[in-house]
Structure 1
Amino acid sequence: MGSNAFEASCAEGGGHHRLCGMCGDWEGTTRVWFEPGQPPAMELPQRGTIRAIAGGRFLLHEYEAGEGDQASSGAAIYGLHLDERAYESAWVDSFHTGTSVMYSTAPAEGEAFSVRGSYGDGRGGPRWGWRTELVQPSDDELVVTMYNVPPQGAEAKAVETSYRRVGAARD
C-alpha cells in the first residue's frame, strides 16, 4: 500500500476517515445472549475508549464491562487493509475469548465494519463462526454487535454494546 492510497483513505469519505470517526470515550450497555430467541442473560454497563494507533492506520478499542463477579475487560484492534480491500480485527476478552485471540476478516463492503472469525468448541468438534459488526448511526452513537454462528445453524446475536459518546471525538 502506497502512502497516496492511505492519504486518500484518510480524506473525507474514505475508509480510514470513517473508522477514525469512532475515536473517543464511550459508555453504554452491553447485553449478552446465551440462547437464540431468549431474553438477554446479562445486561451490564460498559465503558470504552477507542483511539487511533500506528499513525491512524488502526484503531485500538479498550473496554471494561460490569462489576464484581460479572466484571470483564477486553481490547480489539480494528483495521482496513487497503491492498486486500478487507476489514480486519484481533480481539481478546476476559469473558468471551479465554486465552485465545480471535482473528477476523471480511471484504470491506459498504460502510459498516463487519468481520468474521471462528473458534473451537474446546472438545475437538467443528469450529464455530463469530461475526462482529460496528455501526455508527450518528457521530455520538456506536453499536458493536457480535453474532455466534453454530457449525450447522443460523447466526444468532450473542453480544450487543450500545455506546454513547462521552466527551469530544479525538484522534
Structure 2
Amino acid sequence: MNHTLLFEKLPGDWRGTCRTWFEPGQLADESELTGSFTPLLAGRFLRHAYHGTLQGKPRTGEETIGFNAVTKAYEASWIDDFHMNYAIMFSQGPPMERGFAVLGAYDVGENQPRWKWRTVYELTAEDQLLITAYNVSPEGMEARAVETHYRRVATRSSH
C-alpha cells in the first residue's frame, strides 16, 4: 500500500487493547487504549496521539509519521511518558504491503550500548490496525514489547 493511500485510511479515532511485555514471553500488562490519527500539513504527515494506562497508571504519547519521498522510507518521531519519558526517538524504515516498519534506537544508561526499537504498523482490515513494537538488544536479540490492536470508532477527513 502506498503512503498516500495509507495516510488517507488512518485518520480518525481508534480504540483498542494494548499489551506490554518487560521480559520476553512474560505479559506485564493488558489495558484499554484510545488513539487518534490526525493529518498534518495537508495530509503529508500524520499525528498519532494515544492515551491509556500501564499497570494502572495513566500513559500517554504521540508520534509524528511521514514518508520521505527522497529515501522512499517512512520516518517517525516518538514521545511517550513511560517508554520514552526522557527523550525523542527517531525511527525510519521501509513500506510494507499493508503498512510500514520503522527502526529507532534509545539509550538505557550513561556509557551503555543503545538498544533498538522496531515498530510495525499494519492495517489488517479497513477498520483494524495492529501496531507491534519489538525491543532489540545490542546483541541483536529481538523480543515483542508492545502490541496494540486498534479498531476504528470514527473517521476524519485527510485534508
Q: Which residue of 1 aligns with 2:154?
A: 167
Q: Which residue of 1 aligns with 2:20?
A: 32
**Which one of the candidate residues 94, 97, 102 is aligned to 2:81?**
94
User: SS at the partner of 2:23?
Assistant: coil
Q: Relative to structure 2, which stretch is displaced further, 84-93 or 15-24?
A: 15-24
Change (3 A) 1:31 1:73: same
Shift of 1:67: 7.5
Asked if 2 retains the 8 angstrom alpha-carbon contact of 1:20 and 1:59, the reply is no
Change (3 A) 1:144 1:67: closer
State which structure, 1 or 2, has the greater radius of gyration over its C-alpha atoms: 1
RMSD across aligned positions (CA): 1.7
Q: Which residue of 1 aligns with 2:67?
A: 80
**Which one of the candidate residues 126, 131, 150 is aligned to 2:137?**
150
Identity of aligned residues (%): 39
Change (3 A) 1:56 1:118: same
Indicate whether 1:54 and 2:41 are aligned: yes
Change (3 A) 1:54 1:69: same
TM-score normalised over the length of structure 2: 0.92
Asked if 2 retains the 8 angstrom alpha-carbon contact of 1:78 and 1:88, the reply is yes
TM-score normalised over the length of structure 1: 0.86
Structure 2 unaligned runs (5+)?
none
Shift of 1:169: 4.8
Q: Which residue of 2 aligns with 1:132?
A: 119
Q: Which residue of 2 aligns with 1:70?
A: 57
CA distance in 1 between partners of 2:25 and 2:55 (Å): 28
Shift of 1:91: 0.4
Higher helix fraction: Structure 1 or Structure 2?
1
Indicate whether 1:113 and 2:94 are aligned: no
Q: 1:47-72 CA deviation, whole Å, 9 max, x = no partner?
A: 00101111110100011012795210
Higher strand fraction: Structure 1 or Structure 2?
2
Change (3 A) 1:69 1:86: same
Greater relative CO, 1 or 2 (CA 8 Å, sep 6+): 2
Shift of 1:20: 2.4
Structure 1 unaligned runs (5+)?
1-12
CA distance in 2 between partners of 1:138 and 1:102 (Å): 28
Asked if 1 retains the 8 angstrom alpha-carbon contact of 2:102 and 2:118, the reply is yes
In the comparison of the two structures, how many residue pairs are matched?
A: 158
